Structure 1
Amino acid sequence: MRNAHRTTLAALAATVTALVLAGCSGTDTPSTADSGPDSEPVSLKVGYIPASVYAYFWQAQDAGYFEDAGLEVELVPMSGGGEIIPALQSGSVQFGISDAMGVINAVNNGIGIEYVTFNASQTEESPIHSVVVKDPSITSAADLNGKTVATNASFNTDWTMMRAWLRQGGADLDSITFLELPFPDQLAALDAGTIDAAGMLEPFVTSSRGAGLEVIGDFFTEVQSPSVLSGVAATNEYVEQNPDVVERFVEAVEKAVDDFNADPQVARDRIAENTEIDPALVAEMNLPVWSNDTDPSQMQFWIDAAEEEGIVETDLDPTSLIWTR
């Protein structure tokens, strides 16, 4: 089973196509030598998905936090972990977003990466992932026995947590067909009846309610709350060779997170300005919960979940997966 799972790295994260900004960057490798904030700016490329979860990049850029830290940051839109992790390995980006399972899968397959900040989560009070159905007779996990359930990708946090939620709700996983379907395509598939349930992410959860569909559960937070799911990663080698740059980059991101926590409207403004989501929908949808002091032990939940699914076969130390000052 382990060898089979090694082939799934390219499907670790969502292709959130409705949120992608126009235009992509070149692939020239920038200079990454350490320097002080008052020296020549350090050029960095950051691979990310232009979605609400990673809105802190826009705030750090717009508020001048990267510039104040002596960093010239280029945000490079990418499709997900299958593109970002190889880009980290090659050095074409210095930092890149990843969900928890992306880092675990990479390390399990011998790729030396770690989180420099593990900062995005959701809670029972503010879930951003939900199970959405059209058929009113489906009201629980057990009602999905023999049905088709869509997640955005396989072997990522969404797929793993959907299976945990179904298992917790008494569903028979062997009877359920799991289908990979990008978030923007899930609503149409439900409407057409080609799937029976979808594991959706905001803003698609909120827009589905407006389309008359039903939410039957919050499949992340009903299993684990708070549920820390993603952050920004770099290679172990880059972190070791550029500690000052890493420190300054993380401090700039943390200032943006502080802004969001002080006034959530700042986050909504950045999302509305940098995505194609209707501003009315941005005002209504749930936001992620961002934190600058996530305990590395939070990764243990995902390690245990990966072992439950047979994705990893060796013990991983959660503290080795998250950089600490």
Structure 2
Amino acid sequence: MTRKLRCSAIALGVAVALTLAGCGGSDEPSSASAGGSGLEKTTIKVGALPIPDPVALYVANEKGYFKEEGLTVQPVTITGGAAALPQIESGALDISQTNYVSTFAAVSQGKKIKLVADMYQAGPNTFNLMVPKDSPIQTVADLKGKTILVNNLNNVATLATLTQLKVAGLTEDDVKFVEKPFPDMGNALLSGQADACWITEPFITANQSQHGFRKLADTMTGQTADLPIAGWMATEDWAQKYPKTLAAFQRAIAKAQQLVSSDRKEIEAMLPKYTKIDAKTASVITLGTFPSELNANRLQKVADLMLEYGYLKSPIDVKSIIAAPAANG
């Protein structure tokens, strides 16, 4: 079902995108309509992971929202952030899904990236620490000296887990993080390779139903409650070179984002079409939220957490990374 999802899938993002766009004009024909007149580029390639996060991209395509803007969007399946950044830098992709931790880390290293739309925000029980049903581990404090599986080191998984360890009086030095793809975590725990895992949907539901795994902690509480997870990025040069094309993308994705955030059935119907998630699983998995605009104050929370836990050496002003909102048609 979902066994082929790569380990980097959620590190990149888990989200459904929306823009900073002036979404108010999305119900009216834009000046870029009528066959794409006015757009600097009418066909773009957009990188996305085969997970729930970028569902709005596929909804926008199927509903004709991009077409209404004179834009042809070609989704390209990516395997993770490590591949996506070079692809947008080389021009192989115009826009790509990314997670905010990876993005801010890249910006701190001098990468010229712009966030162009929001995608996905964590909700209750969307990123949990889990243990086998017969594990003696009962609380986060019991993880002292234990091994925790994460899909990526020094990213969303470890950052979120560290906030929970802090509440329990532990630090990073008290545990061992080991990288493992989400689809492999269940068997790894059952075979004794680790003691706990940080995992997301649809793997939370799969391991609960197949192995009886139980939740040790919801890692999106306290400091990480409602944590922004993923969005859409482009290079600074691309955003400057194709402003009308970007605005058209923003308006269409915003319209789709608003739809999926208000009608879960749209998500459930779309997931089996571009992921390995079947219809039955799609109907029961726990999902976060799909914001319709990039909010600098909300995203600043991620950068500030990264600074607090040593993922950044100096502060980042998130406002400087956000692309200008799409103009109303």
TM-score, structure 2 normalization? 0.85
Q: Distance in 2 between matches of 1:52 and 1:275?
A: 8
The code of the aligned residue for 2:308 comes to E
Deviation at 1:222, TM superposition (A): 4.3
In the other structure, the counterpart of 2:156 is: 157
In the other structure, the counterpart of 1:77 is: 77
In the other structure, the counterpart of 1:36 is: 32
Deviation at 1:112, TM superposition (A): 0.5
Which residues in structure 2 correspond to 1:91-240 (within 5 Å)?
91-124=91-124, 127-134=125-132, 135-210=134-209, 211-240=211-240
The code of the aligned residue for 2:128 comes to S
Query: Aligned match of 2:8 in 14, 24, 27?
Result: 14
Deviation at 1:221, TM superposition (A): 3.1
Q: Distance in 2 between matches of 1:119 and 1:76?
A: 17
Q: Distance in 1 between matches of 2:171 and 2:212?
A: 27
Q: Distance in 1 between matches of 2:160 and 2:54?
A: 20
Q: Distance in 2 between matches of 1:109 and 1:173?
A: 23
In the other structure, the counterpart of 2:15 is: none
Q: Percent identity?
A: 26
Q: Distance in 2 between matches of 1:172 and 1:317?
A: 27
Structure 2 SS opposite 1:149: strand
Structure 2 SS opposite 1:92: coil
Q: Distance in 2 between matches of 1:57 and 1:150?
A: 30
Which residues in structure 2 correspond to 1:54-73 (within 5 Å)?
54-73=54-73
Q: CA contact under 8 A between 1:118 and 1:231: conserved in structure 2?
A: yes
Q: CA contact under 8 A between 1:48 and 1:78: conserved in structure 2?
A: yes
Deviation at 1:177, TM superposition (A): 0.8
In the other structure, the counterpart of 2:255 is: 255
Deviation at 1:236, TM superposition (A): 1.1
Q: Distance in 2 between matches of 1:295 and 1:147?
A: 37
The code of the aligned residue for 1:278 comes to D
Q: CA contact under 8 A between 1:141 and 1:170: conserved in structure 2?
A: no
Over residues 7-27 of structure 1, what are the superposed CA-to-partner deviations in whole Å (9 max), with x where a residue is unaligned?
xxxxxx8247xxxxxxxxxxx
Deviation at 1:84, TM superposition (A): 0.3
1:279 corresponds to 2:279: yes
Structure 2 SS opposite 1:290: coil
Q: Distance in 1 between matches of 2:55 and 2:222?
A: 25
Deviation at 1:245, TM superposition (A): 0.8
In the other structure, the counterpart of 2:268 is: 268
Moved more, 171-180 or 185-194: 171-180
Q: Distance in 2 between matches of 1:284 and 1:169?
A: 31
Q: Distance in 1 between matches of 2:168 and 2:115?
A: 32
Q: Distance in 2 between matches of 1:306 and 1:47?
A: 25
Over residues 152-204 of structure 1, what are the superposed CA-to-partner deviations in whole Å (9 max), with x where a residue is unaligned?
00122122111222222222421211001111111111111101111101010
The code of the aligned residue for 1:149 comes to I
Q: CA contact under 8 A between 2:254 and 2:293: conserved in structure 1?
A: no
TM-score, structure 1 normalization? 0.86
